[in-house]
């Protein structure tokens, strides 16, 4: 919540932010120690003092100088770090100095162009009523997003449709990723009756059953499958699903209260020259939506449980495609999303994406938290809840069943994606 500049609550918030920044906290006043009398404010004149960048209420008896400054100029100086405004105000009489002018020399120092200064100033602006609000095409940035320091990632999402958040920003540890990977390997063995290791991949030859017409059986030439409903496997997956950095960016694209879970899946992928083929399987998740919406109707939070390079079979995407009415799905327009293990990849549902074939040994594990906007979810659970016999008791039962979605893939309540199984000659001990 934004507070009135120089109000008690604003001063308390500034003190809290300065404590967070610690010794790195910058100051528009540098190291100056002086009294401030701020005039023409909403509540009249305000008497304060500043020392080493920290504000205090009231005037100091031993301050070497007193700065009398107009409320608007003070806001420009302390909220926007606009020292030019202070210099101009001095020439027009809106800033006056009484006492030892050398006490203001600290203002000439400081780190106005440093990354720390910029980050600090954004935080101060975010808590100040009437200050410029940071925003993208999706709208204003939330306080949560600003507090997490995700501004540049939100801006990249708006511009390119995808951003990569490193582990030091989202806060998930290497040990947590180890545990998540172990859980996936255990579930993969349950589904396929084949052991897997991160280094070697499947410890046996896997095949899809003859006649399997699932998309992976048709497209991937047997080098990947999906593990569904990962959030049921272990609490670690549920904790990851509500990771603050992921949720802040998803909500920025969808609206603060619009995002809902859609699925929790993991792609298990090992070496294969074909993959999705020369077209890389490029698509966007909103292709069925006519026209283009700025806000995401669905969005993706992909967590890399293993190293992620082009040779490792990483994501391919077309930058800026979420802004196009007819985006390109040409492989030539795609670029690889290369990121270290433990990275979070967030992208818009209209961003064109696919994947490169994996050419290195071992597994590529990517955990996908998929989100949908609440407005496009059914109000009633029809596919899995409406009695089929009633649907067929209708003047046009075929149409009713089609609109009920009985033949649709989603939503699923169990593991529905088929998994490969050991080659028959291996299963028979050959």
The pLDDT of residue 43: 85
Higher pLDDT among residues 256 and 313, named by residue: 313
Distance between CA atoms of residues 150 and 141, nearest Å = 9
The pLDDT of residue 322: 94
Instruction: Place 110 in a pLDDT band, splitting at 50, 70 and 90.
Output: very low
Structure tokens at 281: 């399987």
Instruction: Place 428 in a pLDDT band, splitting at 50, 70 and 90.
Output: very low
Distance between CA atoms of residues 239 and 164, nearest Å = 19
Distance between CA atoms of residues 282 and 188, nearest Å = 26
Please give the average per-residue pLDDT across 137-158, as a whole number: 90
Instruction: Place 108 in a pLDDT band, splitting at 50, 70 and 90.
Output: very low
| pLDDT tens digits, one per residue of 222-244 | 688 899 999 999 999 999 999 99
Instruction: Place 376 in a pLDDT band, splitting at 50, 70 and 90.
Output: confident
The pLDDT of residue 105: 59
The pLDDT of residue 280: 93
Higher pLDDT among residues 53 and 157, named by residue: 157
Closest by CA to 47, choosing from 27, 66, 31, is 66
Look up the CATH number of domain 8-133: 3.30.1050.10
Instruction: Place 112 in a pLDDT band, splitting at 50, 70 and 90.
Output: very low
The pLDDT of residue 109: 45
| pLDDT tens digits, one per residue of 417-426 | 667 666 554 4
* pLDDT over threshold 60, residue 265: yes
Parts of the chain belonging to CATH 2.60.120.620: 152-378
The pLDDT of residue 111: 43
Lowest mean pLDDT among 125-134, 171-180, 333-342, 386-395: 125-134
Instruction: Place 130 in a pLDDT band, splitting at 50, 70 and 90.
Output: confident
Contact 111, 26 (CB under 8 A): yes
Distance between CA atoms of residues 209 and 215, nearest Å = 13
Q: Does domain 152-378 have CATH number 3.10.580.10?
A: no
Lowest mean pLDDT among 66-70, 116-120, 236-240, 350-354: 116-120
The pLDDT of residue 106: 53
* pLDDT over threshold 70, residue 301: yes
| pLDDT tens digits, one per residue of 348-367 | 999 999 999 999 999 999 99
Parts of the chain belonging to CATH 3.30.1050.10: 8-133
Instruction: Place 430 in a pLDDT band, splitting at 50, 70 and 90.
Output: very low
Instruction: Provide the percentage of residues in the chain whose pLDDT is more than 70.
Output: 87
166-203 burial: b if 16+ Cβ within 10 Å, else e: ebebbebeeeebeebbebbbebbeebbebebebeebbe
Report how far apart, in Å, the C-alpha atoms of 195 and of each of 4, 32, 366, 383, 402 are: 61, 66, 18, 35, 40
The pLDDT of residue 23: 78
* pLDDT over threshold 60, residue 2: yes
Higher pLDDT among residues 107 and 378, named by residue: 378
Average pLDDT, the chain: 86
* pLDDT over threshold 60, residue 212: no
Instruction: Place 221 in a pLDDT band, splitting at 50, 70 and 90.
Output: low
Higher pLDDT among residues 332 and 124, named by residue: 332
Residue-by-residue DSSP string for 146-214: HHTT-HHHHHHHHHHSEEEE-HHHH---HHHHHHHHHHHHHHHHHHHS--EETTTEESS-EEPPTT--S
358 — alpha (psi -120 to 50), left (phi > 0) or beta? beta
């Amino acid at each position: 919540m934004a507070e009135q500049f120089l109000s008690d609550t604003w001063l308390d918030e500034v003190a809290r932010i300065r404590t967070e920044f610690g010794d790195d906290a910058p100051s528009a006043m540098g190291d100056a120690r002086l009294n401030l009398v701020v005039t023409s404010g909403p509540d009249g004149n305000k008497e304060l003092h500043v020392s080493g960048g920290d504000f205090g209420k009231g005037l100091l008896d031993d301050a070497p100088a007193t700065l009398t400054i107009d409320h608007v100029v003070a806001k420009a100086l302390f909220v926007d770090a606009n020292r030019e405004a202070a210099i101009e105000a001095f020439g027009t009489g809106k800033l006056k100095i009484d006492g030892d002018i050398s006490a203001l020399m600290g203002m000439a120092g400081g780190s106005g162009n440093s990354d720390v200064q910029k980050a600090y100033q954004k935080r101060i602006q975010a808590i100040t009523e009437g200050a410029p609000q940071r925003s993208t095409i999706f709208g204003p940035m939330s306080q949560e997003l600003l507090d997490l320091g995700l501004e540049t990632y939100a801006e990249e999402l708006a511009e390119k449709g995808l951003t990569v958040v490193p582990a030091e920003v989202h806060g998930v540890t290497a040990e947590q990723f180890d545990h998540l990977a172990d859980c996936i390997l255990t579930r993969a063995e349950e589904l396929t009756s084949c052991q897997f290791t991160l280094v070697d991949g499947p410890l046996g030859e896997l095949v899809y059953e003859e006649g399997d017409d699932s998309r992976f059986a048709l497209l991937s030439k047997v080098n990947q499958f999906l593990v569904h409903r990962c959030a049921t496997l272990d609490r670690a997956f549920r904790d990851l699903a509500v990771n603050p950095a992921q949720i802040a960016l998803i909500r920025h694209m969808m609206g603060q209260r619009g995002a809902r879970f859609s699925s929790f899946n993991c792609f298990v992928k090992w070496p294969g020259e074909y993959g999705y083929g020369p077209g890389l399987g490029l698509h966007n998740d909103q292709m069925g939506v006519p026209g283009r919406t700025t806000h995401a109707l669905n969005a993706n939070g992909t967590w890399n449980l293993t190293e992620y390079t082009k040779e490792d079979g990483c994501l391919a995407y077309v930058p800026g495609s979420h802004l196009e009415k007819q985006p390109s799905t040409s492989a030539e327009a795609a670029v690889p999303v290369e990121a270290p293990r433990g990275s979070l990849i967030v992208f818009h549902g209209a961003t064109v994406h696919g994947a490169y074939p994996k050419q290195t040994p071992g597994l590529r594990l990517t955990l996908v938290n998929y989100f949908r906007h609440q407005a496009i979810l059914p109000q009633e659970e029809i596919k899995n809840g409406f009695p089929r016999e009633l649907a067929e008791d209708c003047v046009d039962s075929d149409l009713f069943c089609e609109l009920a979605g009985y033949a649709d893939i989603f939503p699923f309540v169990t593991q529905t994606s088929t998994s490969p199984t050991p080659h028959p000659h291996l299963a028979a001990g050959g």
